[in-house]
Amino acid sequence: IDINSMANKIYSKLEFICQSNKHPISCSVGISQSSKEINTFNQLYENADKVLYTSKEKGRAKYTIYTNK
């Protein structure tokens, strides 16, 4: 799975429609993938939460992928 492509597809679909008017919305996202070392929900959640704050520091509508490097 190409995470970057998936995240970009999600961002391209973000909009709020109210009374036939489109309003773009944005969000910051932290992404973590499972691996041999990272395989419990708590580990995934903690890693995604860490990089979420990195995304917020970069500005609006950003995502960051956790790497254990």
Number of other residues whose CB lies within 10 A of the CB of residue 30? 21
The predicted model scores a pTM of 0.69
Q: What is the pLDDT of residues 18-69, one digit of tens each?
A: 777 777 777 888 999 888 888 899 999 999 999 999 988 888 788 898 987 6
CA-CA distances (angstroms) from residue 35 to 5, 46, 53? 20, 14, 22
Contact 32, 49 (CB under 8 A): no
